[in-house]
Structure formats: C-alpha cells, structure tokens
Structure 1
Amino acid sequence: MIRHLPVHAPHRARFALPLIAALALAGCLSIGDRAELAVYAPTVVLAVAEDTPRLERTLAIAEPSASNALDTTRIAVRPAPGRLQVYAGAIWSDTAPALVQAALVDALGGSGRFQAVVRPTDGVATDLLLRLDLRQFEAVYAEGAQHPTVIVDLHATLVDPRGRRVAASRRFRAEQPAVDEALDDVVPAFEAALGEIASTLLPWVLEHGTDTAP
C-alpha cells in the first residue's frame, strides 16, 4: 500500500532538474518548501509459504551503502540513456537506502522465519548481519517506451558479526514495469520490485544463515 501526502493532482511524468542540481536543492528545502511536495512511503507485503523453514537466529539488516545520486529523498528517473533526473514535486519519506532497509526489516521480520529482525543500531546482540550495497533504485524509460520500468539492484553480503566471516554474497535485481507514467502508478512498481527482492532474499538468508556458527 502506498502512503503519501498528495498536494496536487496525480503526478504525471514531470521531471525536474538534473540530479546533481536537485541534490543541492534538496539540502536547502525549508519546511514551507516541503509542504509543496507529495511525500511517498512505499511498503512491502511478503507472502511466505507455510512450509518455509524457520531459522532461530537474530538477523540485523544494515542500511545499504549507496552513491550520492541514490542517497537522497528525491525520486530518481532516467527519461533517456545517460540522463538521470528526479520527479518534480515529490520525494520519498526517507532516503532511498533508509527506505530499502526499512522495507526489508519489515518484510523479513514479518515473515516469522527468524527469532528477530533488527537494525544494527538497535543495540541487540545478533547472530547474522546482512550488509547491502544499493546500486539502482530508479524508474527507467527504455528507448521508445511510454511507461517506465522500475529497477532495484543491490548486492547483499551475509556476515557472521562475531568473527566477521562472510557466509554468502549475491547480487539481487528486480525489474517491474509501471502501468502508466503518472508517479502514483510508478510508486507501486517500486513496491513490487522491493517485494520481489524480499521474496528472493528470504530463502537465500535462510539457506546460508545456517553456515554461521550458532
């Protein structure tokens, strides 16, 4: 379900400044400026089969590392190859890395397949640490396309936080087409892509989480 604070009619594909300029502008927004924006907070619902095994471990999911272009609240879009811009009049409720972390903590935690799923900053002793590198989190227009495809691309490393031994490492990538160019139709594609990432990440962590010492 999308949670957002709309202040205009549904957003069509209005692109703002090139991303570098938009990042500089985002750091200068006042409270009054932010009131003119629609704020989107994507959520993820993860369906888990009843026969999915349970791992009696506590998993910590770190906030992903990301480039400056992604570590922002602006919603990235590529209207053409080599052009990275942002949607006008709208932002995420948090930076993209923080959104991805929150979505995965909620999804994997809600799966009921771990003793607990937390953030490293929660101050809880953990058995597993999931480190993430967010490489793409954007809507992309293919050549000649009328509607964008959302791409979420990240690299995951599962680590034993005590000995810092790497249990497994893998790249996860999801592509979900939007049904229209309006941002209200693009955000559900972000949710679907995050859900696809979570659904493939869960069994992978369950499989390789047993490779760390209990």
Structure 2
Amino acid sequence: MSGSGQGRRGGSADLLLARLEAALPQTQCTRCGFPDCAGYARAIASESAPINQCPPGGIEGVRRLAALTGQPAEPLNPAHGHEGPRTLAVIDEAWCIGCTLCIQACPTDAILGANKYMHTVIAAHCTGCELCVPVCPVDCIGLEEASAGATGWAAWSPAQADAARLRYAQRQTRLARQAPPARPVVPDEAAAKQSVIAAALARARARRSYPENDL
C-alpha cells in the first residue's frame, strides 16, 4: 500500500510540475533567475522560488501560478523585470559581421546564418527573450513590438508557448548530440579566434565611421 501511495504522490507531483510549466509562456529568457522555464517550474514546485519572477507572463501568469500553488498573487518582482509587450529581435544585416554569437545564444534556434555570413531572424520562432542582444559585439540587433500593445499572457497564445517549448527541447537535444569530447584549449587557437573577431570588429567600426568608403 505504501508503494501505491508513493506512486500516487509522485504522479501528483509530476502533474503539478507539468501544469506549472504550462503556466509559463516559454520564452526561455532566464529573467526569472533560472536557466529555462522548466527549471523555474521545478523551483516553484519545490517551494524554493516565488511565483512572481516571470515578466513575460505578467500578472496573469502570476495569477495562474497562484491558482496552482495556493500562494497569493503578489505583484511581479521588479528585480526580474517588468511586464511588457511581446517583442521580436531584428538584425540590421548591413552591420552583421557573421560572428554567430547570437545564434549560439538563441534558445529556440530562431536565427539563421553561418560564420562570417549575414544572419537573419525567423520571426515565427523568436520568443523575444532578448538573449541575443547583449552578445552582439557590433550592436546590430534591435527589438520590435509584436503584440499590438498587449502584454503578459495577453500577448501570447498557448500554441505559441507550446511551439517555443518544443523548439527549445529540440535544440537542447541537438546540442547534447553535437557536444564534442572535452579537450584543452590550445592558446594559439584561442588567440587566433580573438584576432579574427577583433579584425571583424575593426572593419565594422570603420564602416560606421566612414560609410561613404567601400572598406
């Protein structure tokens, strides 16, 4: 009997975790302080994190989490950001140096491109997580509003959240398969990579300073 009871409790815990994750909009933005939405859901389920740390979900997201946990629906914690419209990342392709840093940062594989080639954002796959913005060395990524003023869960549909969660899971699986065996970084290789990036940055700065010249 005890084993059966433990199974029921485990099933209830799994169901709660699934419902908590479904109450999050799946931007995978990390603003909650966790590496992904699933990690935040697990922390809420274990009562090790408050329910008001998800700006993309807004106050409606807090209410949904409150209904599932029995906790009070407190205002969003401003330390984690503020509720706002859903946004899309846009790359100024004229200034893109093809460094691939934004591709590596995107949690849903919403950016296409290759090393030293122009990158572009697939709007339908972008969650507006903003993780690509700070890693761009030439500041060529901006954000555009994509929800006509709607904020929080009003700016998202369950279908969009499900699609984002699936793409994130697929990316995690792909990265796990592609992970090479760990090997020490050779100093000369690291220096060479830094040199290539520095040269690309210098060319980009030169174009900005002297746009009339074909550098």
- Shorter-chain TM-score range: under 0.3
| Larger proportion of strand | 1
Q: Which has the larger radius of gyration?
A: 2
TM-score norm. by structure 1 comes to 0.24
* Greater helix content: 2
TM-score between the two structures when normalised by the length of structure 2: 0.24
- Which gives a bigger RCO, structure 1 or 2 (Cα 8 Å, sep 6+)? 1
